[in-house]
Amino acid sequence: MSTPKVLTVTLEFEMGDRKIHAARIKAAYEAAVSAAMEAAKGELLDGSVTTVRSRMTWDYRWAEQSAHYTDVDVEWAEDEDEPEA
């Protein structure tokens, strides 16, 4: 039996100071979701995607103050007290 997997793709559009109406935001969101679904269909095997969920959030924050993180390789030490199988 295979284990179900989830692929999460996050898109973040940083916008300028111009006033943007809700209809344009919704249209941009729908276009991004549609494009992502079409791209995934082109790369994944037929029938491999069973469900697509999407959501849109809106927040106000200073874009310049966003934190940027770098991937760091971490080696986890094995617990020596764990019994061997």
At 85, the amino acid letter reads A
Is 60 exceeded by the pLDDT of residue 80? no
Q: What is the rounded distance in angstroms from the CA atom of residue 78 to the CA atom of residue 48? A: 35
Contact 11, 32 (CB under 8 A): yes
Q: How many CB atoms lie within 10 A of CB 82?
A: 7
What is the pTM assigned to this prediction? Answer: 0.63
CA distances from 4 to 7, 28, 37, 38, 54 (A): 10, 30, 18, 21, 18
Quick one: pLDDT at residue 13?
A: 85
- Using pLDDT thresholds of 50, 70 and 90, give the confidence band for residue 79: low
Contact 30, 51 (CB under 8 A): no
